[in-house]
Structure 1
Amino acid sequence: MINPSEPATIELDERVWNLIITINKKVNTAVSPQEDINHWGVIDRWDYPDDGYGDCEDYQILKRRRLVEAGLPRRALRMVVVLDELGAGHAVMAIRTDQGDFILDNKRDAVLPWHQTGYVYIKSEGDRTHAWIWLSNQAVVTSTASR
């Protein structure tokens, strides 16, 4: 559930940055990749990887859960659909901050500014409703700040 009274961006300080990096790496290490068809017997299912297996969106929803439990506003943590380096569909999570948007990805432990991922951005969760926003290869946010 999106709470419009929550901040849409996070103030990025050293504590928050370290929290983001730590959770990204811990989830990437704890979950092993497995496509939904092999895992669940269906083409696509978004679920928590509680059994230690999941595909790209499952990693991201677990990261979001852990970041929210650590006190970050859910509204600033958005699932984003991209085309990856091979042109395949892929899900990542964007963290909107006062220093730009950063991407959490199960393909790498490094948390990168959106414009350094090499991805084509297709759509993102909105920050007011459950509706998705088409990005037309426009980035999640237009800041070029890097960390």
Structure 2
Amino acid sequence: MCGMNSQFSRTRRGRFNRFFALAAFSSAMLTGIAGINSAFAQTAMPVSANAIQVAGNAGPTPAWIAFCAQMPEECTYDASEPARIVLDQTTWKAIVEINERVNDTIIPVTDQDHWGVADRWDYPGDGLGDCEDIQLLKRRMLTEKGLPHRALRMTVVIDELGAGHAVLMARTDRGDFILDNKRKAVLPWQETGYRYVKREGSDNAAWVWLGNQAAPIVTATK
């Protein structure tokens, strides 16, 4: 899925011995997240963004189907949840900080290097993961902070290199914003430079087609 050039070595693997298992790792970050003083944190509330337009139905990726078979609780749909997040200063700060913290903690590695397969969706419990694994962890942490799962949608895009890439779309009352492992900033979808292919639906468990809607090219920020 992710268009990464990764050469993963035994030396780098040794760095992950200091990471917690996923449950402890997630819990520790959530406990300390309020005290993070990030030099990059976007403290100001964002201006309103546009909501992306849905163009029809779409099928999920085979790796998503396999992930849901393995972890069905992560793919459930709850119509009683809000379809959009009501953004306030506290919620925006949590979104920005979790995006940055996970990006700074999980080291990107392709599924081929990590698991020996072309595409696998999973949680990065060993501190390693590609784009979709990183976004799944962000979603788990945000839902543990009380944000609605229904408003946090896994999304497939084409990146600036023409490769498939996964991001997390936060659907809010101020528009749709993107959490991405390629940049620390949480951006409105139309400022990412990506072409939007499909995402999880907000009205049922099916995926929806986004019609390859294009956003202007911007420079990725790390």
Give the TM-score, by structure 1 length.
0.92
> Which residue number corresponds to residue 126 of structure 1?
201
4+ runs deviating over 3 angstroms:
none
Q: Note the 1:1-147 alignment, pairs <5 A.
A: 1-138=76-213
- Greater shift, 128-137 or 34-43, is seen at 128-137
Structure 1 residue 41: deviation in Å? 1.0
> Which residue number corresponds to residue 144 of structure 1?
none
Q: Is the 8 A contact 1:3 1:128 kept in 2?
A: no
Amino acid at match of 1:96: R
Aligned residues: 139
Q: Which is richer in strand?
A: 1
Q: Is the 8 A contact 1:60 1:105 kept in 2?
A: yes
Give the structure with higher Rg (CA): 2
Q: Which is richer in helix?
A: 2
Structure 1 residue 131: deviation in Å? 1.6
> Which residue number corresponds to residue 55 of structure 2?
none
Structure 1 residue 128: deviation in Å? 3.1
- Percent sequence identity is 64
Pairwise CA RMSD? 1.0
Gaps of 5+ in 1: 140-147
Q: Partners of 1:99 and 1:129 in 2: how far apart?
A: 22
Gaps of 5+ in 2: 1-75, 215-222
> Which residue number corresponds to residue 143 of structure 1?
none
Where 2:171 maps in the other structure, the secondary structure is strand
